[in-house]
Structure 1
Amino acid sequence: MLIPPAGSGPWYWHLLAGQLRDRGHDVVAVDLPCADDSAGLTEYADAAVRAIGDRTDLVVVAQSFGAFTGPLVCDRVDAELLVLLTPMVPSPGESPGEWWENTGYAHARQVQAEREGWTPEQDGDPGVIFFHELPPPLVEEATANARDQSGTPFGRPWPLGAWPEVPTRALLCRGDRFFPIDFLRRLVSDRLGVTPDEMDGGHPVALSRPRELADRLEEIRREVLGVARATPTRRR
Structure 2
Amino acid sequence: MATFLLIHGGGDVGWYWHLVEERLRAHGHRTFAPDLPDDDSATLDDYVDAATAAVADHEDLVIVGHSYGAYTATLAAQRLSARLLVLLAGMIPAPGESPNEWWANTGYRQAVEEQAALDGGRTGNDDPFISFYNGVPRPIAEEAMRRASHRGESSTVAKTPWPLPTWPSIPTRVILCEDDKFFPAPFLRRLTRSRLALTPDEVPGGHCAALSHPAEITNLLLGYLA
Deviations 1:124-179 (A, max 9, x none): 11121112212221122011011222222111111111111110110111011100
Q: 1:91 aligns with which of 81, 90, 94?
A: 94
State the partner residue of 1:54.
Answer: 57
Output the CA distance in 1 between the equivalents of 2:129 and 2:81. Answer: 39
Shift of 1:119: 7.3
State the partner residue of 2:141.
Answer: 139
SS at match of 1:160: coil
**AA aligned opposite 1:84:** L
- Report if the CA contact (8 A) 1:56-1:78 is conserved: no
State the partner residue of 1:156.
Answer: 160
Output the CA distance in 1 between the equivalents of 2:13 and 2:130. Answer: 22
Counterparts of residues 55-134 of structure 1 (less than 5 Å) = 55-118=58-121, 123-134=125-136
State the partner residue of 1:230.
Answer: none
User: What RMSD over aligned residues (CA atoms) do the two structures have, in Å?
Assistant: 1.4
Q: Which moved more, 1:213-222 or 1:58-67?
A: 213-222
State the partner residue of 2:206.
Answer: 202
- Report if the CA contact (8 A) 2:134-2:207 is conserved: no
Structure 1 unaligned spans of 5+: 223-236
Structure 2 unaligned spans of 5+: none
Aligned-pair identity in percent equals 49
Output the CA distance in 1 between the equivalents of 2:78 and 2:134. Answer: 36
Deviations 1:167-192 (A, max 9, x none): 01101110111000000001011111
Deviations 1:107-130 (A, max 9, x none): 00000111001279x821112111
Q: Which has the larger radius of gyration?
A: 1
TM-score normalised over the length of structure 2: 0.94
Output the CA distance in 2 between the equivalents of 1:173 and 1:37. Answer: 30
- Report if the CA contact (8 A) 1:95-1:158 is conserved: yes
Q: Aligned pair count? A: 220
- Report if the CA contact (8 A) 2:176-2:201 is conserved: yes
